[in-house]
């Protein structure tokens, strides 16, 4: 099996996994039996095509999609990603293997069940928008509801709510021709959301947009997904987009899965040279968090530490500042050598001189977000937990060296 590089840390509980794919293959051509035999014996996609005339779109693909997250499938043209996503809404029938939705095999759904699944459980957002030019915004958004037989009053109400959600309030009665590309994509997204599906399939929906609009739409999708908790399966060929959006990223090549992991783990531990090549083209500062570059502070002081001992600590560690913590290691601020000397001369408590308004971040803060903070900070930035416990520090040198 080709998926031995998968890091599958997902819970196998049916309630947690909304989609499960098991040994899925899709072959196009007459001599599928010989092609499958060759693939099982380790032949390449090109070798199979040359000898049998069969195109291998997918081969032995297995993974799970966790409910309520963004699952990104990335690959170059011909990797199988678009074929795969069309198996999720039964637009393509696999040659072998199965796709399950909430533990129900899609191929075994009868016509009524399949119609229910397509109408109420899953919606697709297309790259080319798929809008009807003779309808205005609200009528495009409500089209799926109209097909379901929802009354005009109810579908208009739901369409207005969806239109507001994607930032098109006030544009409900505008003709489609008057909208920009980004606004048209918002209409497409609103139409998908109006049906209140459990899964959003998005096949390279932003690839036709200019970079600034694309960035806005990525932010919009993240905001909406976090608010509604929808499961999103997102197809892209852009590694930066994959890492920005994905809770989990699945890299495909020649119809097979190469690696499945979180963006951070994939950046830190690429499965092979192909994945590494993909990742090397990404902006790592937008993927890696400070927990990968933080270090232990060399000098700590507590409230019970005397000024003279603080001075001694800083001298021994060749540093001009110390990180102040309480008895439970909660970060309180920074003491400089100058202030420690002043406290000692004036016989005052060390903590009277704490600089408390210092910059702090959590371990999950992206390096890209720390860059401007590090540039203006007079001290290495303290990394704290959600409860305020000091976890480490990040220096300007470690931030800058991580970008090389």
The per-residue pLDDT for range 75-110, each reduced to its tens digit, is 888 899 989 989 998 999 999 999 999 989 999 999
Reported confidence tier of residue 149, pLDDT bands at 50, 70, 90: confident
> What mean pLDDT is reported for the chain?
87
Greater model confidence, 258 or 3: 258
Pair of tokens at residue 64: 């799970």
pLDDT digits (tens, 9 = 90+) for 226-281: 888 899 999 998 888 888 899 999 999 999 999 999 988 888 888 998 888 888 76
What number does CATH give the domain 67-285?
3.40.50.300
pLDDT of residue 39: 95
Nearest to 271 by CA among 259, 253, 262, 286: 259
Quick one: average pLDDT of 189-194?
88
- Map tokens 């020649």 to a residue: 254
**Which strands sit side by side in the sheet containing 381-384, from one edge to the other?**
360-361, 381-384, 390-394
Q: What are the extents of the domains in the chain?
A: 67-285, 291-401
Residue 353 pLDDT level (bands cut at 50, 70, 90): very high
State yes or no: pLDDT of 10 exceeds 60. Answer: no
pLDDT, residue 404, reads 58
Residues 343-370 have a mean pLDDT of: 90
In this prediction, residues 375-383 reach a mean pLDDT of: 88
Residues of the chain with pLDDT > 90: what percent?
Answer: 45
Whole-model pTM: value is 0.69
- pLDDT value at residue 7: 41
3-class DSSP state for residue 325? strand
Q: What CATH class has 291-401?
A: alpha beta
Rounded to an integer, the average pLDDT of 333-360 is 94
- Residue 83 DSSP SS3: helix
Is the pLDDT at 6 greater than 50? The verdict is no
Give residue 403's pLDDT band: very low, low, confident or very high (50, 70, 90): low
pLDDT at 173 over 50: yes
Structure tokens at 283: 């902006």
User: Angle at which helices 32-40 and 45-52 pack, to 10 degrees?
Assistant: 150
N- to C-terminal Cα separation, the chain: 36
> Has residue 69 got a pLDDT over 80?
yes
């Amino acid at each position: 099996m080709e998926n031995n590089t998968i890091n599958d840390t997902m819970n196998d509980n049916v309630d947690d996994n909304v989609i499960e794919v098991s040994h899925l293959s899709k072959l196009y051509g007459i001599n599928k039996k010989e092609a499958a035999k060759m693939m099982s014996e380790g032949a390449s996609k090109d070798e199979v095509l040359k000898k049998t005339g069969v195109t291998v779109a997918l081969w032995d693909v297995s993974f799970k999609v966790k409910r309520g997250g963004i699952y990104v499938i990335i690959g170059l043209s011909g990797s199988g990603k678009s074929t795969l996503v069309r198996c999720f809404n039964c637009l393509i029938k696999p040659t072998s293997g199965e796709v399950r939705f909430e533990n129900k095999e899609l191929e075994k759904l009868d016509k009524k069940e399949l119609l229910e699944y397509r109408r109420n459980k899953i919606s697709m957002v297309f790259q080319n928008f798929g809008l009807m030019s003779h309808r205005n915004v609200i009528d495009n958004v409500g089209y799926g509801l109209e097909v379901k037989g929802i009354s005009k009053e109810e579908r208009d109400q739901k369409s207005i709510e969806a239109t507001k959600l994607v930032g098109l309030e006030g544009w409900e009665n505008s003709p489609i021709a008057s909208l920009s590309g980004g606004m048209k994509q918002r209409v497409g997204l609103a139409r998908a959301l109006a049906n209140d599906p459990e899964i959003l399939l998005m096949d390279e929906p932003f690839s036709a947009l200019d970079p600034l609009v694309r960035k806005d739409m990525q932010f919009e999708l993240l905001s909406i997904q976090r608010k509604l908790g929808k499961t999103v399966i997102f197809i892209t060929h852009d590694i930066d987009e994959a890492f920005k959006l994905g809770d989990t990223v699945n890299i495909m090549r020649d119809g097979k899965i190469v690696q499945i992991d979180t963006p951070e783990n994939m950046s830190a531990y690429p499965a092979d040279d192909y994945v590494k090549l993909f990742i090397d083209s990404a902006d790592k500062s937008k993927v890696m968090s400070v927990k990968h570059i933080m270090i232990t502070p060399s000098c700590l002081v507590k409230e019970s530490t005397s000024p003279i001992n603080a001075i001694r600590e800083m001298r021994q560690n060749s540093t001009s500042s110390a990180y102040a913590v309480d008895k439970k290691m909660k970060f309180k601020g920074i003491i400089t050598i100058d202030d420690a000397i002043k406290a000692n001369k004036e016989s005052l408590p060390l903590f009277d001189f704490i600089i408390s308004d210092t910059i702090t971040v959590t371990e999950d803060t992206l390096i890209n977000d720390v860059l401007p903070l590090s540039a203006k900070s007079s001290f290495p930035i303290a990394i704290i937990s959600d409860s305020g416990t000091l976890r480490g520090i990040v220096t300007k040198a470690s931030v800058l060296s991580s970008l090389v």
